[in-house]
Structure 1
């Protein structure tokens, strides 16, 4: 998929429409979790990774701390499901309109069932991907929960 700025524009629109404002920042190079934390001068645990999983053929978005590894068995038990699988890049793109490594919590073609790592609530400010590999936006935990409609759960 050619990066034409479409996914980032959709994220910006979603943020503005939700009343949180456009806090998207562009970086000259890709910003994986550790590099993003360094570039932003924040702890890696304030980076919010948007991870897409396949739950019986439906997308499940887990917003997890950059310092955490999602325990899929724990999440599956909490949801009353047998298994959650990491989604393929094609599945992620199909359901989010964004490529793996740049998925945002918002700006998808349709609302996705979303879980929010409750460990993130200890941070004053979070940073999340904004639709591609070179952009991120800032938001509070409370606002992120509100605009995504996420269910708060321990994910690790």
Structure 2
């Protein structure tokens, strides 16, 4: 099983594992997951890795609904940084231990500063990547916050 699932099991946190087929033509893995799972897309969250202040190795994680786009200024502010840009995919993969499109906020090789979009506060449960494409985890929002050490802040473009 993936490191994300192992972390949940070790912490004795309740979750549901959802497997689904991912088509190569899908524009976004998160929207494909929502469609395949028959879930409201606003409950499915994507995990994005950003770098800060032009330093490719100064990384943080942003977790936001697949229906939205990340506001990099808000991401930087939420992480206490001056600026943010999307991380180099190869560095993101090496640091987290997951492939792009399957990066989970849980069980990463190196624990990174994590921010969860404030919209998650209204959700009892949400869906995040289970650590590979075609595998999502449904868990309580509070559990995700606790296990990742995430803080809540607005991350989306208006």
Which category of TM-score, normalised to the shorter sequence, fits these structures?
Answer: 0.7 to 0.9
CA distance in 1, matches of 2:75, 2:14: 31
Check 1:76–1:28 CA distance in 2 against 1; reply closer, same or farther (3 A cut): closer
Q: Note the C-alpha offset of 1:43.
A: 1.1
Q: Note the C-alpha offset of 1:47.
A: 0.5
Which residue is 2:10 aligned to? 17
Q: Does residue 1:92 correspond to 2:89, yes or no?
A: no
Which residue is 2:32 aligned to? 35
Consecutive aligned runs of 4 or more in structure 1 exceeding 6 Å deviation: none
Q: Does residue 1:49 correspond to 2:46, yes or no?
A: yes
The residue correspondences of 1:7-156 to structure 2 (distance < 5 A) are 8-21=1-14, 23-29=16-22, 32-55=29-52, 56=55, 57-156=57-156
Q: How big is each residue's C-alpha offset from its partner over 1:51-76, in whole Å with a ceiling of 9 and x where there is no partner? A: 00112332200011112211111222
Check 1:38–1:105 CA distance in 2 against 1; reply closer, same or farther (3 A cut): same
Check 1:22–1:143 CA distance in 2 against 1; reply closer, same or farther (3 A cut): closer
- Aligned Cα RMSD in Å? 1.7
Using the size of structure 1 for normalisation, the TM-score is: 0.87
Q: Aligned residues, how many?
A: 149
CA distance in 1, matches of 2:148, 2:117: 13
Q: Give the number of the structure whose residues are more often strand, by fraction.
A: 2
User: Which structure 2 segments of 5+ residues have no match?
Assistant: none
Q: Note the C-alpha offset of 1:78.
A: 4.0
Whether the aligned pair in 1 keeps the contact of 2:18 and 2:37 (CA below 8 Å) is: no
CA distance in 2, matches of 1:81, 1:59: 11
Please say which of residues 96-105 and 70-79 is displaced more in the overlay: 70-79
